[in-house]
């Protein structure tokens, strides 16, 4: 191996160690039975820490197999990794899948496409159904060239169903779409006002000069009119204030449809801060480590900071019964029964009739061969929910172990009466799991999300006085003020009349070029407000398409797809759009 290859290997080994630093620490020769929650976020027994350590070692072995170009050994190690993850009730290893994607693209750049493809297969197995795997596959196919370009095209058709099938990615994509659409409408509104000024501005300027010339010499009146039209540029956010001033002054010169568009823009500008503040609050919660941890549990994804993020959830909502219930289920799935029992007891102190917690407490005692306590908790679960087939089935199992066969038969018959199909399934798998447990804590994740959303409500003063004013609707008040000012200015100005806008500008060729390259001019000259706005909206949407993710929130891809496809669509779309406009304008020339 070359010196650069050796250095790269050491870097990758170091990265692999850091990747799992949040999951497992080296197990000392004399280890405590349970790790400290201050270190790991959630208490871990020695067996759990050893399983995490085993995943780390297997991943390092996979890297060795990768650099030795040994696909058979690498495939076996993927099997081992997934088997170890299943011992922790997990089925996905997203961080390791990302690592395999990086190796795949690295091999493709080196021209080793065979190794690139089996690394891609490993990434798909470690975290199946992820869009970033397809994105990485597209990059590999692009580097491969030739027939690979067909895989590039098919990859784009495969990736979007995956994107919209994942809750977090779908949620963030729609939030980005909302933010992008809001930005598009506001920028298009600014251009609409600029086009209005280009067509009606000469008439407005003449009227302003005439107004100031009543008290000032005409040269001074011209200078004052120019200064009056441009002074907002020197303010903070000057272009915004300039557009607002122009829209006020031009409102009386526009047609009814143009005035409707301007009012709509003012209202949109007033709503925008309120929408952005609420969106930011919700997205902050959605991207917070605790919510990320809950999504990982729902999807059975074991990532590097999972247990630390769960510990943060406990610290953020220390009194939440739902959080205690969820963490109890996590400990139970990790086979940490004593830790789970402590939390289930706390849940039952707050919610004595919690059937799921009673079932799992009974299961704990059953597995400890304490059948008296198990029967007691299963009876309480049955009393709390008489329709629970699981409670009756568990009672029958506990009665059987206690040699109470008459009671066992009665409880089993009652369970079958409540849900015979489930009971048949439980009996069929009794060799794997003798009793039924409940994931009631997992079912409370939506409730926990709402509690987090309430806790993330920004304290007063944190956003500053301007943020508080926007939060309480000042922006909408400003929109109302703009509408009132426009009406008042129009009523005061109407008795003096409005100058007419000139019919055309420049030569015939220049006028054709202006109409093609500046959409909305023809509509503005005809007083068609809605048509002019939408004529500007299409090219602006294409221009802003490559900035979709730049304007919004970054989707946490394991492998970033980049903006190449967006740029291609934008350039081709703009070329087609202006080509159609040129043909249309020429065909309509008089």
* Residue 119 domain boundaries: 3-166
In a domain, 558, yes or no: yes
* Per-residue exposure over 291-307, b if at least 16 CB sit within 10 Å of its own CB, e if not: bbbbbbbebebbbbbbb
Question: Taking phi first (over 0 means left), then psi (-120 to 50 degrees means alpha), and beta for anything else, what does residue 282 get?
Answer: alpha
Q: Are residues 359 and 270 in the same domain?
A: no
Average pLDDT over residues 35-41: 48
Three-class secondary structure assignment of 398-440 = HHHHCCCHHHHHHHHHHHHHHCHHHHHHHHHCCCCCCCCCCCC
Which residue in this structure is represented by tokens 């602006």?
A: 540
Average pLDDT over residues 124-142: 90
Average pLDDT over residues 282-304: 91
Q: Are residues 147 and 188 in the same domain?
A: no
Report whether 358 contacts 473 (CB < 8 A).
no
Band (pLDDT 50/70/90 cuts) for residue 589 is low
Give the Cβ contact number of residue 386 at 10 Å: 10
CA distance 340 to 319: 17
Band (pLDDT 50/70/90 cuts) for residue 150 is confident
Question: Quick one: pLDDT at residue 151?
Answer: 77
Give the Cβ contact number of residue 279 at 10 Å: 16
Count of domains observed in the chain: 3
Question: Quick one: pLDDT at residue 21?
Answer: 36
Token duo for residue 431: 């060799």
C-alpha distance from residue 180 to each of 131, 160, 184, 437, 445 (Å): 21, 18, 6, 46, 30
Please state, rounded to an integer, the average pLDDT across all residues of the chain: 84
Is the pLDDT higher at 110 or at 4?
110
Is the pLDDT higher at 43 or at 493?
43
Q: Are residues 258 and 339 in the same domain?
A: no
Band (pLDDT 50/70/90 cuts) for residue 144 is confident
Average pLDDT over residues 116-125: 94
C-alpha distance from residue 107 to each of 63, 79, 146 (Å): 13, 22, 17
Pick from 147, 166, 185: which residue ends a domain? 166
Pick from 136, 166, 196: which residue ends a domain? 166
Question: Quick one: pLDDT at residue 22?
Answer: 39
Average pLDDT over residues 209-227: 89
Give the Cβ contact number of residue 189 at 10 Å: 22
Question: Quick one: pLDDT at residue 43?
Answer: 84
Question: Quick one: pLDDT at residue 554?
Answer: 83
Q: Are residues 407 and 515 in the same domain?
A: no
Question: Quick one: pLDDT at residue 367?
Answer: 92
Average pLDDT over residues 292-306: 91
Task: Indicate if the pLDDT at residue 25 is higher than 70.
Answer: no
Band (pLDDT 50/70/90 cuts) for residue 586 is confident
Q: Are residues 534 and 479 in the same domain?
A: yes
Task: Indicate if the pLDDT at residue 465 is higher than 70.
Answer: no
Is the pLDDT higher at 414 or at 491?
414
Question: Quick one: pLDDT at residue 386?
Answer: 93
Task: Indicate if the pLDDT at residue 63 is higher than 70.
Answer: yes
In a domain, 229, yes or no: yes
Task: Indicate if the pLDDT at residue 289 is higher than 60.
Answer: yes
Question: Quick one: pLDDT at residue 463?
Answer: 46
Question: Quick one: pLDDT at residue 192?
Answer: 93
Average pLDDT over residues 156-163: 79
Q: Are residues 470 and 443 in the same domain?
A: no
Helices (H) and strands (E) in the chain, counts: 29, 0
Q: Are residues 131 and 176 in the same domain?
A: no
Pick from 400, 428, 454: which residue ends a domain? 454
Q: Are residues 154 and 229 in the same domain?
A: no
Average pLDDT over residues 341-349: 94
Phi (first) and psi of residue 301, to 5 degrees: -105, 120
Say if residue 127 is exposed, middle or buried (CB neighbours under 10 Å; 0-12, 13-18, 19+). Answer: buried
Question: Quick one: pLDDT at residue 85?
Answer: 94
Strand partners, 34: 45
Best CA proximity match to 66, nearest among 76, 53, 54: 76
CA distance 344 to 354: 10
In a domain, 351, yes or no: yes
Question: Quick one: pLDDT at residue 491?
Answer: 80
Average pLDDT over residues 129-153: 83
Q: Are residues 44 and 146 in the same domain?
A: yes
For the CA atoms of 84, 86, 88, 91, the dihedral, rounded to the nearest 10 degrees, stands at 110
Band (pLDDT 50/70/90 cuts) for residue 7 is very low
In a domain, 290, yes or no: no
Average pLDDT over residues 538-558: 86
Task: Encode pLDDT of 78-101 as tens digits.
Answer: 999 999 999 999 999 999 999 999
Q: Are residues 476 and 437 in the same domain?
A: no
**Sequence-ordered list of residues with C-beta below 8 angstroms from that of 398, at least 6 positions apart, any chain:** 362, 366, 371, 374, 375, 378, 435
In a domain, 426, yes or no: yes
Task: Encode pLDDT of 483-518 as tens digits.
Answer: 888 888 878 777 776 777 665 554 455 677 777 777
In a domain, 112, yes or no: yes
Question: Quick one: pLDDT at residue 143?
Answer: 87
Phi (first) and psi of residue 572, to 5 degrees: -65, -40
Question: Quick one: pLDDT at residue 53?
Answer: 94
Question: Quick one: pLDDT at residue 380?
Answer: 94
Question: Quick one: pLDDT at residue 510?
Answer: 67
Q: Are residues 444 and 468 in the same domain?
A: no
CA distance 547 to 509: 34
In a domain, 234, yes or no: yes
Question: Quick one: pLDDT at residue 2?
Answer: 40
Per-residue DSSP letters for 485-503?
HHHHHHHHHGGG--PPPPS
Regarding pTM above 0.75, the answer is yes
C-alpha distance from residue 438 to each of 354, 435, 441 (Å): 11, 10, 8
Task: Encode pLDDT of 368-384 as tens digits.
Answer: 999 999 999 999 999 99
In a domain, 360, yes or no: yes
Question: Quick one: pLDDT at residue 466?
Answer: 46
Strand partners, 92: 301
Q: Are residues 159 and 17 in the same domain?
A: yes
Report whether 292 contacts 169 (CB < 8 A).
no
Question: Quick one: pLDDT at residue 189?
Answer: 94
* CATH number of the domain within which 432 lies: 1.25.40.10
Per-residue DSSP letters for 27-47?
PPSS--SB--HHHHSS--BHH
Average pLDDT over residues 271-299: 90
Report whether 435 contacts 389 (CB < 8 A).
no
Best CA proximity match to 498, nearest among 189, 194, 255: 255
Band (pLDDT 50/70/90 cuts) for residue 194 is very high
Question: Quick one: pLDDT at residue 472?
Answer: 53
């Amino acid at each position: 191996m070359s010196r650069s290859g050796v250095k790269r290997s050491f870097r990758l080994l170091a990265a692999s160690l850091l990747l799992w630093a949040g999951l497992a620490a080296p197990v000392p020769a004399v280890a405590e039975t349970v790790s400290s929650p201050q270190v790991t976020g959630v208490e871990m027994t020695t067996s759990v820490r050893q399983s995490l350590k085993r995943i780390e070692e297997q991943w390092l072995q996979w890297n060795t197999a990768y650099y030795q170009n040994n696909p058979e050994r690498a495939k076996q190690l993927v099997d081992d990794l997934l088997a170890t993850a299943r011992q922790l009730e997990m089925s996905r290893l997203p961080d390791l899948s990302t690592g395999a994607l990086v190796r795949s693209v690295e091999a493709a750049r080196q021209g080793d496409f065979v190794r690139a493809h089996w690394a891609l297969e490993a990434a798909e197995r470690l975290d199946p159904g992820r869009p970033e795997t397809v994105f990485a596959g597209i990059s590999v196919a692009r580097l491969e060239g030739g027939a690979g370009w067909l895989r590039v095209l098919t990859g784009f058709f495969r990736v979007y169903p995956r994107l919209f099938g994942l809750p977090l990615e779908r949620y963030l994509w729609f939030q980005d779409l909302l933010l992008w659409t809001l930005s598009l409408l506001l920028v298009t509104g600014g251009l609409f006002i600029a086009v209005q000024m280009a067509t009606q501005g000469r008439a407005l300027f003449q009227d302003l000069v005439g107004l100031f010339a009543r008290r000032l010499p005409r040269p001074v009146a011209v200078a004052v009119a120019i200064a009056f039209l441009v002074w907002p540029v020197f303010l903070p956010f000057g272009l915004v204030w300039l557009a607002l001033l122009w829209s006020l002054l031009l409102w009386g010169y526009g047609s009814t449809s143009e005035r409707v568009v301007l009012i709509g823009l003012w209202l949109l500008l007033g709503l925008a801060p309120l929408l952005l503040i609420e969106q930011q609050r919700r997205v902050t919660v959605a991207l917070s480590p605790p919510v990320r941890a809950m999504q990982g549990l729902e999807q059975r994804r074991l990532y590097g900071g999972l247990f630390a993020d769960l510990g943060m959830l406990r610290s953020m909502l220390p009194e939440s019964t739902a959080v205690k219930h969820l963490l109890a289920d996590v400990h139970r799935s990790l086979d940490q029964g004593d830790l789970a029992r402590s939390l289930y007891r706390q849940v039952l102190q707050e919610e004595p009739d919690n059937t799921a917690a009673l079932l799992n407490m009974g299961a704990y005692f059953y597995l400890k061969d304490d059948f008296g306590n198990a029967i007691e908790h299963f009876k309480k679960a049955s009393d709390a929910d008489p329709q629970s087939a699981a409670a009756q089935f568990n009672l029958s199992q506990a009665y059987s172990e206690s040699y109470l066969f008459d009671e066992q038969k009665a409880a089993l018959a009652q369970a079958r009466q409540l849900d015979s199909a489930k009971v048949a399934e439980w009996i069929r798998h009794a060799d794997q799991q003798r009793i039924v447990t409940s994931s009631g804590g997992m079912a409370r994740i939506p409730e926990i999300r709402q509690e987090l959303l309430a806790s993330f409500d920004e304290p007063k003063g944190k956003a500053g006085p301007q943020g508080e004013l926007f939060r309480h609707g000042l922006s909408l008040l400003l929109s109302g003020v703009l509408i009132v000012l426009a009406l008042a200015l129009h009523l005061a100005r109407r008795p003096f009349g409005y100058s007419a806008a000139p019919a055309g500008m420049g030569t015939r060729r220049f006028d054709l070029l202006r109409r093609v390259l500046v959409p909305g001019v023809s509509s503005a000259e005809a007083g068609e407000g809605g048509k002019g706005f939408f004529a500007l909206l299409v090219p602006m949407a294409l221009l802003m398409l490559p900035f979709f993710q730049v304007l919004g929130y970054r989707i946490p891809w394991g492998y970033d797809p980049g903006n190449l496809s967006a740029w291609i669509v934008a350039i081709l779309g703009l070329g087609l759009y202006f080509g159609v406009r040129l043909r249309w304008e020429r065909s309509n020339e008089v």
